[in-house]
Amino acid sequence: MHGYSGKILHIDLSERKSWLESKPEKWYQTYIGGVSMATRLCWENITPGCDPLSAENPICLANGIFAGTPVPVGGKFGLASKSPLTGFIGDSLSGSWFSTSFKRAEWDGIVIHGASEDWVTVFVDDDMVEFRDASHLLGLGTTETESAIRDEFGDDQVRTACIGPAGENLGRISNVSNDGRKAGRTGHGAVWGSKKLKGLSMRGTHGVEVADSEELLRLSLDILEAAQGPHTQKYRILGTTSNVLNMNKLGLLPTKNYQEGVFEDAELISGEYLHEHYKAKTIACAQCPIACEQVGWVKEGPYAEAMSHIEYESLFALSSNCGVNDMEAAIKAITNCNELGMDTMSTGVTISWAMECYERGIFTKEDFECERYPEGFEANFGSGMAMVKLTEMIAHRDGYMGDLLADGTQRASTLLDEERDMESYKWAMNIKGLETPGYDARALKTFALGLSVGTRGGCHNRTAAYDPDIKGQVDRFSVDETRGKLAKGTEEYAAVYDTLPLCKFIRRCFTGKADREGAWPAIAKLINATTGWDFDYDDVDLIGERAHTIKKAFNIREGWTRDDDKLPYRWKHEEMTKGPSAESVVTDEELEYLKDLYYEAKGWTPDGLIPKEKLVELGMEDVAEDIGV
Amino acid sequence: MPLPSTSKHEYITCDPDKCIGCQICEYVCSYAKTGEFNTFRSRIRMVRDHKILITTVACRTCENAPCAIACPRDALKQDPKTGVIKVDTALCDGCAWCIEACDFGAISINPRTKLAEICDLCEGEEDGPQCVKWCPKDALEKTTPDRRAQRSRRKLAREEILR
Ligand code: SF4
Ligand code: SF4
Ligand code: SF4
């Protein structure tokens, strides 16, 4: 086999031992890598029905097929566990040197079992596995942890994925960080924390062997050149933050906990404003010639020294959605989340939920008391200071509020509603427990479908169904019989990228056209030059369907039913009043109709279960045995 | 101890304002020189320290190259015309004295063969230094210290006058 080592590394934290597993080529051709292979490893190694924070929930990493080669934007890996936030599959992607070290150490995947009694880091040095005491690293932020470990070895080639204090404290919206990039969503940090795993470090020294290196380099360099042209201009100059003004114009920029889609001070939190006043540098992930990461830096004032890369999804959550028009507070809050190891999106949306509770008089100043802020504080929409303080409190579970918010909106609202007999679930913005993204789905009906059926909950990245809505390919305010197929098409398209993985920002650089016809033949060539296989258009297309199917199968085994595919109360019952997306909701009737269309398009039963034949057709016989109907 | 004086010879220099840390230069260098995709074997290396300090470093073709002087086995010879350091693989035993002598961190020992590897400005390549050719951000340049200085002066003058 080329492009793969054929080896999966198993590590048991309880027994402190490790072993190797070999997989046949067919398995690799079915699951490829990234989120698909990581989910498959999770399927094989989890005790179904287990508590996500128990020793029975494995941490599964699967590298990218192109990691460690010159293929642009291929330096990524997938991470999967059962999510402590959703109870379903938590599949994440992350980029950078961790994945290239992982590749050069010649492992295709890593499964971490059990749980340690004492805090550890695991060091994988080519084929050696070492368990190292981590007590001196406790409490350190993510960047500090990574550099402390690098300093211990005195070697820059030791790359680490780690958790911050939020993960140590089992916050269900905490994440895993490597080289400043995140496996951001669904609460991986808490899974690592529950195993007392502070970090996983890799050093790999081997060259990456591929089937036809000359061809692979040639293909890569063509893509590299195209990636400097107009196809990626948006990403290179403003990065994803250019979305702020675009979404605001469409009336889709979540504002004050999704009460509105227009923010009057959008200019002040725009990518353009960031670029002009706070941009310190543009940086790239490993192997990436685009470089979309815009680093924002506050030089003076109360948030002096805050510095972080600023993405649109972080920015909306920690500015307009909290009603905050202060870019400096946003940069500080994002820096806090990234350093403390928390999902910026879930954190922001959870804070905005708390702010709404405060404005409605359910929370008072005293509810925000903690050791750090013994007097408590006011937490109205628009208070940048409150937003920043809450990021710290959540990471450390400080006081009543920090503890309540550390597990996200679903748990916080359930607890509050029980304790105080309230109905705060009506403004708890999550789907399957995962906080919603930065596009208001009330007026993006295909997207609303995509989000509701999403295997990991409220994630824009996995469904991508905003695309036909925003491009005007369909009427975004209404529903029709095309939407089931569209939602299937966009989620499987995204799943191809998430499985290889390749960053989606490269999608126009193969031939100028981002659709399947434009991209799949070129991707097939990259796969073939890497592996020596003979993939064609259909094989590439199947990567996405298989990836999505294994995730769905995982959820079914964990008890998923049709009722789990839902939308937040607010999107179904409350209209926005301002801007071009006002006066729109997704009714129950619309949603159930859309779900019917979608299950049918997928070839599933009306209950959303997967027929045996469908699974067999996809080459997943053992999955068919288990959950097929 | 002051840095060894860099010479009149050409070398590869990186503009840290432009470099994004993508390591494409490392991949093309390692492939051009070894046929492998292995950034460990690149003769140009990306350094990223702190969140925004990113640059790359390759051999500076020093005058009276300290690496060559330090080598106890005379395995390193400097080409008097180009300043390029040639490694005699028959003599080099990977002792790493040269690495200690080089203030730029421009030498690495190949982890497999245990031989020193140094940028040769892609002498054999028809289209010149591969890293320069493929850097997507035009951060790299093959230049001499004097030409580099001239460019800085021009840039400064332009900025001062056109401001
Ligand atoms: S290819 Fe250019 S931008 Fe990329 S790391 Fe090398 S010098 Fe920097
Ligand atoms: S290897 Fe180092 S010491 Fe030797 S010439 Fe190059 S930069 Fe100077
Ligand atoms: S000039 Fe050639 S040998 Fe030197 S660093 Fe660049 S690619 Fe490598």
Per-residue model confidence (pLDDT) at position A15:
97
- Who has greater pLDDT, B39 or A344? A344
CA dist A227 and A249 (Å) reads 28
> What mean pLDDT do residues B14-24 have?
92
Longest dimension (CA), chain A: 67
Query: Per the structure block, which two tokens stand in for A272?
Result: 């353009």
Contact B12 CB / ligand 3 (< 6 Å)? yes
Per-residue model confidence (pLDDT) at position A445:
97
Nearest to A376 by CA among A344, A354, A360: A354
Class of domain A7-203: alpha beta
Contact present, A10 and A23 (Cβ < 8 Å): no
Per-residue model confidence (pLDDT) at position B156:
85
Q: In Å, how far is B83's CA from the nearest CA of chain A? A: 29
B40 contacts A291? CB cut-off 8 A: no
Cβ contacts below 8 Å, chain A against chain B, sum to: 85
A157 touches chain B (CB under 8 A): yes
A3 touches chain B (CB under 8 A): no
Flag whether pLDDT at A209 surpasses 50: yes
Kindly list the residues from chain B whose CB atom is less than 8 angstroms away from the CB atom of residue A289: 20, 22, 24, 136-137
B20 contacts A282? CB cut-off 8 A: yes
> What mean pLDDT do residues A280-287 have?
89
B60 touches chain A (CB under 8 A): no
Q: Sketch the domain layout of chain B as residue ranges.
A: 11-162
Helix (H, G, I), strand (E, B) or coil at A312: helix
Per-residue model confidence (pLDDT) at position A293:
85
pLDDT digits (tens, 9 = 90+) for B51-68: 788 999 999 999 899 999
Per-residue model confidence (pLDDT) at position A182:
93
CB contact residues (below 8 A), chain A span 68-107, against chain B: 68-70, 72, 100, 104
Per-residue model confidence (pLDDT) at position B7:
65
> What mean pLDDT do residues A246-270 have?
97
CA-nearest residue, atom 6 of ligand 2? B59
Flag whether pLDDT at B151 surpasses 90: no
Nearest to A36 by CA among A531, A497, A598, A597: A497
Query: Which of B51, B54, B55, B134 to mutate to test binding with chain A, by most A CBs within 10 Å of its CB?
Result: B51
Query: Which of A76, A203, A282 to mutate to test binding with chain B, by most B CBs within 10 Å of its CB?
Result: A282
Per-residue model confidence (pLDDT) at position B4:
52
Flag whether pLDDT at B2 surpasses 50: no
pLDDT digits (tens, 9 = 90+) for A348-399: 999 999 999 999 999 999 999 999 999 999 999 999 999 999 999 999 999 9
Query: Per the structure block, which two tokens stand in for A343?
Result: 């999902």
The mean pLDDT of chain A is: 96
- Who has greater pLDDT, A504 or A333? A333
Q: What is the DSSP letter of A255?
A: B
Residue A156 pLDDT class (50, 70, 90 cuts): confident
Residue A46: partners with Cβ closer than 8 Å, 6 or more residues away: A56, A57, A58, A82
End-to-end CA distance of chain B: 39
Per-residue model confidence (pLDDT) at position B163:
62
Q: What is the DSSP letter of B22?
A: -
CATH classification number, A441-567+587-627, choose in 1.20.1440.130, 3.40.50.10440, 1.10.599.10, 3.40.50.720:
1.10.599.10
Q: Ligand 3 centroid to B85 CA: how many Å?
A: 12
Is ipTM strictly over 0.85? yes
Flag whether pLDDT at A39 surpasses 80: yes
Per-residue model confidence (pLDDT) at position B1:
42
Residue A401 pLDDT class (50, 70, 90 cuts): very high
Which of A180, A283, A289 lies closest to B136 in CB terms? A289
CA dist A81 and A39 (Å) reads 7
CATH, domain range A222-429: 1.10.569.10
CATH classification number, B11-162, choose in 3.40.50.720, 1.10.1130.10, 3.40.120.10, 3.30.70.20:
3.30.70.20
Residue A137 pLDDT class (50, 70, 90 cuts): very high
Flag whether pLDDT at B148 surpasses 90: no
Contact B129 CB / ligand 3 (< 6 Å)? yes
B35 touches chain A (CB under 8 A): yes
CA dist A43 and A45 (Å) reads 6
Per-residue model confidence (pLDDT) at position A230:
84
Q: Ligand 3 centroid to A146 CA: how many Å?
A: 30
CB hemisphere CA count around B101 (13 angstroms): 17
Query: Phi and psi (nearest 5°) for A240?
Result: -70, -20
Q: Sketch the domain layout of chain A as residue ranges.
A: 7-203, 222-429, 441-567+587-627
Q: If phi over 0 gives left and psi between -120 and 50 gives alpha, with beta otherwise, what is residue A34?
A: left
CA-nearest residue of chain A to B29?
A70
CB atoms within 10 A of CB A304: 12
Nearest to A101 by CA among A122, A131, A77, A134: A77
The reported pTM is 0.94
The owner of tokens 């202060």 is A326
CA dist A109 and B60 (Å) reads 40
B23 contacts A287? CB cut-off 8 A: yes
pLDDT digits (tens, 9 = 90+) for A106-118: 999 999 999 999 9
pLDDT digits (tens, 9 = 90+) for A427-482: 999 999 999 999 999 999 999 999 999 999 999 989 989 999 999 999 999 999 99
Q: Which of A78-82, A395-399, A417-421, B149-153 is the least confident region?
A: B149-153
- Who has greater pLDDT, A44 or A240? A44
Q: What percent of chain A has a predicted confidence (pLDDT) above 90?
A: 92
> Which DSSP string corresponds to A121-147?
EEEEETTEEEEEE-GGGTT--HHHHHH
CA-nearest residue of chain A to B18?
A282
Flag whether pLDDT at B5 surpasses 60: no
Query: Phi and psi (nearest 5°) for A118?
Result: -115, 160
Please give all residues whose beta carbon lies within 6 A of any atom in ligand 2, as ranges.
Answer: B 59-62, 65-67, 85, 101-102, 104, 106-107, 118
